[in-house]
Amino acid sequence: EPEVTQTPSHQVTQMGQEVILRCVPISNHLYFYWYRQILGQKVEFLVSFYNNEISEKSEIFDDQFSVERPDGSNFTLKIRSTKLEDSAMYFCASTTREGADEQFFGPGTRLTVL
Amino acid sequence: KQEVTQIPAALSVPEGENLVLNCSFTDSAIYNLQWFRQDPGKGLTSLLLIQSSQREQTSGRLNASLDKSSGRSTLYIAASQPGDSATYLCAVRPRSGGYQKVTFGTGTKLQVIP
Protein backbone atom coordinates (compact mmCIF):
# COMPACT_ATOMS: atom_id res chain seq x y z
CA GLU A 1 0.00 0.00 0.00
CA PRO A 2 1.39 3.44 -0.92
CA GLU A 3 2.58 5.54 1.98
CA VAL A 4 4.11 8.90 2.78
CA THR A 5 7.74 8.65 3.87
CA GLN A 6 9.88 11.17 5.76
CA THR A 7 13.58 11.51 6.41
CA PRO A 8 15.34 11.75 8.72
CA SER A 9 13.34 10.21 11.55
CA HIS A 10 15.27 12.31 14.08
CA GLN A 11 17.32 15.46 13.50
CA VAL A 12 19.38 17.18 16.16
CA THR A 13 20.70 20.65 15.40
CA GLN A 14 22.21 23.67 17.10
CA MET A 15 20.20 26.84 17.49
CA GLY A 16 20.71 29.12 14.51
CA GLN A 17 21.46 26.32 12.07
CA GLU A 18 19.45 25.58 8.94
CA VAL A 19 17.61 22.28 8.65
CA ILE A 20 15.83 20.62 5.75
CA LEU A 21 13.18 18.01 6.42
CA ARG A 22 12.29 15.72 3.56
CA CYS A 23 9.10 13.99 2.55
CA VAL A 24 8.06 11.76 -0.32
CA PRO A 25 4.28 12.04 -0.73
CA ILE A 26 2.14 9.30 -2.29
CA SER A 27 2.88 9.38 -6.00
CA ASN A 28 -0.51 10.30 -7.46
CA HIS A 29 -1.30 12.90 -4.79
CA LEU A 30 -1.47 16.56 -5.71
CA TYR A 31 -1.76 18.43 -2.40
CA PHE A 32 1.00 18.42 0.16
CA TYR A 33 1.08 19.65 3.74
CA TRP A 34 3.39 20.20 6.66
CA TYR A 35 2.19 20.05 10.25
CA ARG A 36 4.03 20.24 13.52
CA GLN A 37 3.32 18.85 16.97
CA ILE A 38 5.17 20.25 19.94
CA LEU A 39 5.50 17.62 22.66
CA GLY A 40 2.23 17.25 24.55
CA GLN A 41 0.39 19.73 22.34
CA LYS A 42 -2.00 19.68 19.40
CA VAL A 43 -1.06 18.93 15.83
CA GLU A 44 -0.85 22.34 14.08
CA PHE A 45 -1.19 23.17 10.40
CA LEU A 46 1.84 24.94 8.92
CA VAL A 47 1.43 25.09 5.14
CA SER A 48 -0.26 23.54 2.14
CA PHE A 49 1.28 23.29 -1.32
CA TYR A 50 -0.27 22.70 -4.71
CA ASN A 51 0.92 23.10 -8.29
CA ASN A 52 4.38 24.19 -7.14
CA GLU A 53 3.23 26.99 -4.93
CA ILE A 54 1.98 27.61 -1.43
CA SER A 55 -1.82 27.56 -1.34
CA GLU A 56 -2.26 28.40 2.34
CA LYS A 57 -0.12 28.96 5.39
CA SER A 58 -0.65 29.54 9.07
CA GLU A 59 0.64 32.31 11.30
CA ILE A 60 3.37 29.92 12.46
CA PHE A 61 4.80 29.70 8.95
CA ASP A 62 6.87 32.89 8.99
CA ASP A 63 9.88 33.97 6.93
CA GLN A 64 12.08 31.40 8.65
CA PHE A 65 10.17 28.61 6.92
CA SER A 66 10.06 27.66 3.27
CA VAL A 67 8.81 24.71 1.26
CA GLU A 68 9.87 23.32 -2.05
CA ARG A 69 9.18 20.49 -4.42
CA PRO A 70 12.61 20.22 -6.04
CA ASP A 71 11.71 17.27 -8.26
CA GLY A 72 8.76 15.04 -9.06
CA SER A 73 8.84 13.14 -5.81
CA ASN A 74 10.33 15.08 -2.90
CA PHE A 75 8.66 17.78 -0.81
CA THR A 76 10.87 19.65 1.63
CA LEU A 77 10.48 21.97 4.60
CA LYS A 78 13.40 24.28 5.34
CA ILE A 79 13.89 26.17 8.57
CA ARG A 80 16.55 28.81 7.97
CA SER A 81 17.69 29.64 11.48
CA THR A 82 16.34 27.23 14.04
CA LYS A 83 15.16 28.35 17.46
CA LEU A 84 14.69 26.30 20.59
CA GLU A 85 10.93 26.56 20.17
CA ASP A 86 11.13 24.86 16.77
CA SER A 87 11.74 21.57 18.58
CA ALA A 88 8.77 19.41 17.63
CA MET A 89 7.58 16.51 15.51
CA TYR A 90 7.08 17.60 11.92
CA PHE A 91 4.59 15.65 9.85
CA CYS A 92 4.15 15.66 6.11
CA ALA A 93 0.78 14.74 4.61
CA SER A 94 -0.76 14.47 1.17
CA THR A 95 -4.15 14.13 -0.52
CA THR A 96 -5.34 13.50 -4.04
CA ARG A 97 -7.83 16.34 -4.20
CA GLU A 98 -8.18 19.63 -2.48
CA GLY A 99 -10.37 18.79 0.42
CA ALA A 100 -12.60 15.87 -0.35
CA ASP A 101 -10.17 13.09 0.36
CA GLU A 102 -8.41 11.66 3.37
CA GLN A 103 -5.10 13.10 4.36
CA PHE A 104 -2.36 10.50 4.63
CA PHE A 105 0.43 11.28 7.05
CA GLY A 106 4.06 10.31 7.16
CA PRO A 107 5.73 8.92 10.29
CA GLY A 108 7.21 12.31 11.19
CA THR A 109 10.63 13.81 11.82
CA ARG A 110 11.52 14.63 15.38
CA LEU A 111 13.49 17.88 15.38
CA THR A 112 15.52 18.72 18.46
CA VAL A 113 17.12 22.15 18.64
CA LEU A 114 19.85 22.53 21.26
CA LYS B 1 -11.49 30.86 14.76
CA GLN B 2 -12.30 27.16 14.85
CA GLU B 3 -11.76 25.44 18.20
CA VAL B 4 -11.82 21.65 18.41
CA THR B 5 -12.12 19.93 21.77
CA GLN B 6 -12.05 16.27 22.67
CA ILE B 7 -13.45 14.92 25.89
CA PRO B 8 -12.35 12.99 27.83
CA ALA B 9 -8.64 13.68 27.58
CA ALA B 10 -7.93 10.15 28.77
CA LEU B 11 -9.97 7.00 29.07
CA SER B 12 -9.20 3.58 30.50
CA VAL B 13 -11.52 0.65 29.82
CA PRO B 14 -11.42 -3.13 30.20
CA GLU B 15 -11.03 -5.22 27.08
CA GLY B 16 -14.28 -6.02 25.32
CA GLU B 17 -16.09 -2.86 26.34
CA ASN B 18 -17.80 -0.63 23.78
CA LEU B 19 -16.79 3.00 24.05
CA VAL B 20 -17.48 6.45 22.62
CA LEU B 21 -14.99 9.24 22.02
CA ASN B 22 -16.25 12.79 21.58
CA CYS B 23 -15.15 15.65 19.37
CA SER B 24 -16.70 19.13 19.53
CA PHE B 25 -16.07 22.04 17.16
CA THR B 26 -17.21 25.64 17.43
CA ASP B 27 -17.74 26.55 13.76
CA SER B 28 -20.23 24.29 11.96
CA ALA B 29 -19.15 25.48 8.50
CA ILE B 30 -16.98 22.47 7.83
CA TYR B 31 -16.02 20.60 4.69
CA ASN B 32 -15.28 17.31 6.41
CA LEU B 33 -14.03 15.73 9.62
CA GLN B 34 -11.39 13.04 9.86
CA TRP B 35 -10.54 10.72 12.76
CA PHE B 36 -6.99 9.53 13.31
CA ARG B 37 -5.13 7.37 15.75
CA GLN B 38 -1.65 8.20 16.91
CA ASP B 39 0.61 5.69 18.59
CA PRO B 40 3.33 7.06 20.92
CA GLY B 41 6.11 8.73 18.96
CA LYS B 42 4.51 7.81 15.66
CA GLY B 43 2.61 9.42 12.83
CA LEU B 44 -1.13 9.68 12.34
CA THR B 45 -3.12 6.82 10.89
CA SER B 46 -6.36 7.76 9.18
CA LEU B 47 -9.39 5.91 10.53
CA LEU B 48 -12.47 7.50 9.01
CA LEU B 49 -13.38 10.54 6.96
CA ILE B 50 -16.89 12.01 7.12
CA GLN B 51 -17.97 14.56 4.54
CA SER B 52 -20.19 17.40 5.74
CA SER B 53 -23.16 15.91 3.87
CA GLN B 54 -22.83 12.56 5.63
CA ARG B 55 -24.16 11.50 9.01
CA GLU B 56 -21.88 8.55 9.67
CA GLN B 57 -19.14 6.30 8.38
CA THR B 58 -18.23 2.78 9.39
CA SER B 59 -15.06 0.73 9.13
CA GLY B 60 -14.92 -2.60 10.89
CA ARG B 61 -15.44 -2.06 14.62
CA LEU B 62 -15.36 1.72 14.20
CA ASN B 63 -18.32 3.97 13.58
CA ALA B 64 -18.07 7.74 13.35
CA SER B 65 -21.04 10.08 13.39
CA LEU B 66 -21.33 13.74 12.54
CA ASP B 67 -23.88 16.30 13.70
CA LYS B 68 -22.82 19.55 12.08
CA SER B 69 -25.59 21.67 13.55
CA SER B 70 -24.55 20.85 17.11
CA GLY B 71 -20.83 20.86 16.28
CA ARG B 72 -20.23 17.30 17.38
CA SER B 73 -18.74 14.06 16.15
CA THR B 74 -18.41 10.77 17.98
CA LEU B 75 -16.19 7.78 17.35
CA TYR B 76 -17.69 4.53 18.54
CA ILE B 77 -15.36 1.59 19.08
CA ALA B 78 -17.03 -1.78 19.51
CA ALA B 79 -15.56 -4.66 21.50
CA SER B 80 -12.35 -2.81 22.37
CA GLN B 81 -9.02 -4.63 22.25
CA PRO B 82 -5.62 -3.86 23.83
CA GLY B 83 -4.35 -3.04 20.33
CA ASP B 84 -6.80 -0.13 20.24
CA SER B 85 -4.73 1.64 22.90
CA ALA B 86 -3.56 4.91 21.34
CA THR B 87 -4.39 8.59 21.19
CA TYR B 88 -7.39 9.38 19.00
CA LEU B 89 -7.53 12.72 17.21
CA CYS B 90 -10.27 14.40 15.26
CA ALA B 91 -9.49 17.02 12.61
CA VAL B 92 -11.87 19.50 11.01
CA ARG B 93 -11.47 21.01 7.56
CA PRO B 94 -13.27 24.37 7.21
CA ARG B 95 -15.62 25.10 4.34
CA SER B 96 -14.35 28.62 3.77
CA GLY B 97 -11.76 31.14 4.76
CA GLY B 98 -8.81 28.90 4.06
CA TYR B 99 -10.06 25.38 3.69
CA GLN B 100 -6.65 23.85 3.74
CA LYS B 101 -6.19 24.94 7.34
CA VAL B 102 -7.23 21.79 9.13
CA THR B 103 -7.73 22.18 12.88
CA PHE B 104 -6.94 19.27 15.14
CA GLY B 105 -8.52 18.41 18.45
CA THR B 106 -6.73 17.96 21.72
CA GLY B 107 -6.94 14.16 21.53
CA THR B 108 -8.25 11.37 23.74
CA LYS B 109 -5.68 8.93 25.09
CA LEU B 110 -7.28 5.49 25.24
CA GLN B 111 -5.98 2.58 27.25
CA VAL B 112 -7.65 -0.81 26.87
CA ILE B 113 -6.75 -3.09 29.74
CA PRO B 114 -6.47 -6.83 29.01
pLDDT digits (tens, 9 = 90+) for B17-38: 999 999 999 999 998 999 999 9
- What percent of chain B stands above pLDDT 90? 84
Q: Across the interface, do B91 and A103 touch by the CB < 8 Å criterion? A: yes
Q: Across the interface, do B100 and A44 touch by the CB < 8 Å criterion? A: no
Residues of B in contact with A101 (CB under 8 A): 49
**What is the Cα A27 distance to its own chain's centre?**
16
Torsion of CA A89, A98, B52, B96, to 10 degrees: 90
Q: Minimal Cα distance from A49: which residue of B?
A: B100
Cα dist from A53 to A33, A34, A48, A57, whole Å: 12, 13, 9, 11
Chain segment A26-60, per-residue pLDDT in tens: 988 989 999 999 998 999 999 999 989 999 999 99
Shortest Cα distance from A13 to chain B (angstroms)? 19
Determine the Cα–Cα distance for residues B99 and B114; give it in Å rounded to an integer. 41
Of the residues B44, B62, B96, B108, the best mutation for testing chain A's interface (the one with the most A CB atoms within 10 Å of its CB) is B44
Terminal alpha carbon distance of chain B: 41
Residue A99 has pLDDT above 60, yes or no: no
| Window B:48-107, CB contacts with A under 8 Å | 49, 51, 89, 91, 93, 98-107
